[in-house]
């Protein structure tokens, strides 16, 4: 009954998955519809993709689908972990997925499919990546594609890999706690030069041995070529969110090869280029973007070449914004601490580090002082309100005693 031809066209799956993800991630739209309906739609689409073996799905289509699936499953996993943080304060899972808003209106935890179905979906995607057609698309430079599509494909694959592989989640938490360089200890038996695979290995149910590493190398090399396309023009080739997602995806996939190193260098050089020009105070990088980029590179353990210059540019940029009182300056003490932790994990040492330490210390001191002042002013205001209310209640309205009591208070 089931053949390799798609049960539904690829474009239909792409649009339906995108609409469902938009509903899940938008609290305003959740007043209409139910999580159960969204769950049925997702299961139907994944069922179609699984039995069609993704035949006829292009790079652009798969990038959009993986972005939607990773966003839905990532937000669902993060919310379920947020509910359990009261019993496990060391869980840092909600911070694993950049650019996902966790403040959702309704509980869509039912969208988190069983782990075996997630692993099957991961195997189908890996088989699609390892196919000769996908390899030809990625290797052929005449095949026109946009940088945003490749970013979506990398980010979505990394999110699916992280959600569908429990062993990898444990390794990610361990690396976040212990640091990525020097002090981090990898899980025994895991080869850091290979892509993380599900518990059942990289063999699918039909006995097909999946090796997605060559395709991921081609994907990384193609993305790096697009990043370097506008060098010398003075125009940014990628948005801050795309650079953040690329850095995060590389840290999650954790594939050590010349192609991924080339992409990491290209990302770092583009971040350095956007932060080091005379318009750096207007750079679109938010505090969260900067923290995630630094933490991702610290987790990968890369510090040479353009990456060292990127660290210097980031430190100088953050310190400059804090001193200038810029509206986009890093103000939260948690962000300052996370940034300094990333620099410490990376082991980066330069003349910028003391400047960054001074600026972050000044910002944290100001925030703590402002919090203490607000905390001290709140009880005094409450006491004055209680005295006024008691005076009004103990005396008739519009009486002289009430006015005198209020005035004396």
Task: State the pLDDT confidence band at 22, using cuts at 50, 70 and 90.
Answer: confident
Q: What is the pLDDT of residue 85?
A: 47
Considering the chain, what percentage of its residues have pLDDT values greater than 70? Answer: 67
What totals of helices (H) and strands (E) does the chain contain, helices first? 15, 0
- The DSSP output letter for 203 is B
Answer whether residue 318 shows pLDDT above 90.
yes
- The DSSP output letter for 278 is T
Q: Which residue has the higher pLDDT, 27 or 187?
A: 27
Q: What is the pLDDT of residue 69?
A: 87
Q: What is the pLDDT of residue 339?
A: 94
Write the CB contacts of 407 (distance below 8 Å, at least 6 apart in sequence): none
For the chain, domain boundaries: 10-84+93-229+236-279+288-302, 369-408
Length reported for the chain: 409
Q: What is the pLDDT of residue 314?
A: 93
Q: What is the pLDDT of residue 386?
A: 54
Per residue in 97-124, pLDDT (tens digit) is 555 443 333 445 546 666 777 888 888 8
Q: What is the pLDDT of residue 168?
A: 52
d(CA 280, CA 317) in angstroms, rounded, equals 7
Of 96, 108, 246, the closest CA to residue 162 belongs to: 96
Task: State the pLDDT confidence band at 15, using cuts at 50, 70 and 90.
Answer: very high
Phi, psi of 203 (to 5 degrees): -105, 125
Of 263, 211, 272, the closest CA to residue 236 belongs to: 272
Answer whether residue 79 shows pLDDT above 80.
no
- In the three-class reduction of DSSP (H, G, I as helix; E, B as strand; rest coil), residue 215 is classed as helix
Average pLDDT over residues 142-153: 85
Q: What is the pLDDT of residue 369?
A: 86
Per residue in 175-230, pLDDT (tens digit) is 443 443 333 333 333 333 333 333 333 444 444 446 888 889 999 999 998 888 76
Looking at the DSSP assignment, which residues form a beta bridge with residue 203?
Answer: 209
Q: What is the DSSP string of 313-338?
A: HHHHHHHHHHHHT-TTS---HHHHHH
Answer whether residue 238 shows pLDDT above 90.
no
Judge whether 129 and 212 are in contact, CB under 8 Å.
yes
Average pLDDT over residues 315-338: 90
Per residue in 29-73, pLDDT (tens digit) is 777 778 888 888 888 888 888 888 888 898 899 999 999 888 887
d(CA 176, CA 161) in angstroms, rounded, equals 17
Whole-number Cα distances in Å, 249 to 151, 244, 292, 315: 9, 9, 11, 22
Establish how many alpha carbons lie within 13 A of residue 54's alpha carbon, considering only the half-sphere containing its beta carbon: 26
Average pLDDT over residues 357-369: 90
Average pLDDT over residues 365-374: 85
The Cβ of residue 143 has, within 10 Å, a number of other Cβ atoms equal to 12
- Angle of the 213-227 helix axis to the 258-275 helix axis, nearest 10: 30
Answer whether residue 317 shows pLDDT above 70.
yes
Q: What is the pLDDT of residue 108?
A: 52
Dihedral sign (CA 342, 311, 254, 142): positive
Of 193, 246, 212, the closest CA to residue 135 belongs to: 212
Judge whether 162 and 81 are in contact, CB under 8 Å.
no
Answer whether residue 131 shows pLDDT above 50.
yes
Q: What is the pLDDT of residue 185?
A: 35
Judge whether 194 and 255 are in contact, CB under 8 Å.
yes
Of 197, 157, 128, the closest CA to residue 69 belongs to: 157
Q: What is the pLDDT of residue 234?
A: 55
Judge whether 313 and 275 are in contact, CB under 8 Å.
yes
Of 40, 112, 106, the closest CA to residue 81 belongs to: 112
Answer whether residue 248 shows pLDDT above 90.
yes
Q: What is the pLDDT of residue 291?
A: 94
Dihedral angle over CA of 69, 74, 80, 86, nearest 10: 180
Judge whether 155 and 70 are in contact, CB under 8 Å.
yes
- The DSSP output letter for 396 is -
Q: Which residue has the higher pLDDT, 78 or 201?
A: 78
What is the average pLDDT score of the chain? 75
Q: What is the pLDDT of residue 47?
A: 86
Spacing of C-alpha 10 from chain mean position: 26
- In the three-class reduction of DSSP (H, G, I as helix; E, B as strand; rest coil), residue 374 is classed as helix
Task: State the pLDDT confidence band at 407, using cuts at 50, 70 and 90.
Answer: very low
Q: What is the pLDDT of residue 37?
A: 84
Looking at the DSSP assignment, which residues form a beta bridge with residue 209?
Answer: 203
Interior/surface letters 76-89, b for 16+ CB within 10 angstroms, e for the rest: bbbbebeeeeeeee
Answer whether residue 251 shows pLDDT above 90.
yes
Judge whether 285 and 323 are in contact, CB under 8 Å.
no
Average pLDDT over residues 271-296: 83
């Amino acid at each position: 009954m089931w053949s390799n031809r798609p049960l539904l066209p690829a474009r239909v799956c792409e649009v339906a998955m995108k609409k469902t993800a938009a509903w899940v991630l938008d609290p305003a739209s959740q007043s209409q519809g139910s999580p159960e309906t969204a769950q049925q739609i997702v299961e139907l689409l994944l069922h179609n993709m699984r039995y069609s073996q993704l035949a006829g799905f292009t790079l652009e289509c798969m990038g959009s689908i993986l972005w939607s699936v990773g966003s839905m499953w990532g937000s669902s996993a993060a919310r379920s972990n947020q509910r359990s943080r009261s019993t496990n304060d060391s869980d840092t899972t909600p911070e694993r997925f950049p650019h996902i808003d966790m403040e959702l209106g309704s509980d869509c935890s039912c969208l988190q499919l069983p782990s075996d179905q997630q692993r099957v979906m991961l195997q189908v995607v890996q088989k699609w990546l390892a196919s000769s057609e996908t390899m030809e698309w990625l290797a052929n430079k005449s095949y026109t594609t946009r940088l945003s599509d490749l970013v979506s494909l990398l980010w979505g694959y990394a999110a699916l890999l992280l959600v569908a592989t429990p062993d990898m989640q444990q390794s990610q938490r361990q690396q976040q706690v212990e640091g990525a360089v020097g002090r981090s200890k990898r899980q025994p038996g895991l080869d850091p030069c290979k892509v993380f695979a599900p518990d059942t290995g990289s063999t699918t149910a039909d006995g097909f041995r999946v090796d997605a590493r060559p395709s991921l190398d081609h994907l990384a090399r193609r993305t790096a070529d697009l990043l370097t396309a506008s060098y010398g023009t003075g125009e940014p080739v990628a948005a801050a969110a795309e650079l953040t997602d690329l850095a995060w995806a590389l840290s999650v996939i954790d594939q050590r090869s010349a192609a991924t190193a080339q992409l990491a260098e290209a990302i770092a050089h583009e971040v350095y280029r956007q932060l080091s020009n005379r318009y750096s105070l207007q750079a679109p990088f938010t505090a969260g973007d900067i923290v995630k980029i630094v933490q991702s590179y610290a987790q990968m353990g890369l510090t040479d070449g353009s990456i060292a210059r990127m660290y210097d540019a980031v430190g100088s940029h953050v310190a400059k914004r804090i001193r200038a009182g810029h509206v986009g300056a890093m103000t939260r003490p948690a962000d300052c601490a996370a940034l300094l932790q990333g620099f410490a994990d990376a082991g980066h040492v330069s003349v910028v580090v003391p400047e960054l330490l001074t600026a972050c210390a000044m910002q944290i001191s100001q925030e703590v002082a402002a919090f203490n002042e607000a905390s001290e002013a709140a009880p005094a205001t409450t006491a004055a309100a209680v005295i006024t209310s008691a005076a009004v209640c103990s005396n008739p309205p519009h009486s002289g005693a009430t006015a005198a009591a209020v005035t004396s208070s």
